[in-house]
Structure 1
């Protein structure tokens, strides 16, 4: 699965692909509406990619102060795009 469309189709399954990175698993759980499982995938990771997904999740949660902290750790700036657009951009980045 290497396209956004295929990733979105995989949301019909009961679990993410086992070979996916923690970032993609997090985005998969978020796509399924399970913020807690999405957050658990990246919460203990310290690299920039995980921080970027972590930032998105806190932005989605509405905790903008915390989101901005994680965007800074990821060396990113909170986007002005919609949450859906950011989710899709993140999925494409990590596929």
Structure 2
């Protein structure tokens, strides 16, 4: 799936089938359902992709301290640029390297 296809799928009622937990959470974040995205990130705490999603979500809500905690757990620097740029970067990364690949 391409980034454009993933973005276009946000118009649907739910994420495309076959997505891993991190991509499902990112889809819900992109669709505007922070709570659902956060619940998915929490389901897989310790998975670096879900921890990175968790960081993004707390950055999105404006909780910088919590976001920094999750960026550290994911082994990443804090997000920079706009939230949309970070969402696009995460989607590109997650789509290029599916979980377990």
TM-score range, shorter chain: over 0.9
CA RMSD of aligned residues (A): 0.8
Equivalent residue runs for 1:1-95 within 5 Å: 2-45=1-44, 46-95=46-95
Shift of 1:65: 0.3
Aligned residues: 94
- What is the distance in 2 between the residues matched to 1:9 and 1:17? 11
Match of 2:56, SS? helix
- Relative to structure 2, which stretch is displaced further, 40-49 or 52-61? 40-49
Gaps in structure 2 of 5+ consecutive residues: 96-101
Structure 1 moving runs of 4+ over 2 Å: none
How much does 1:80 deviate? 1.9
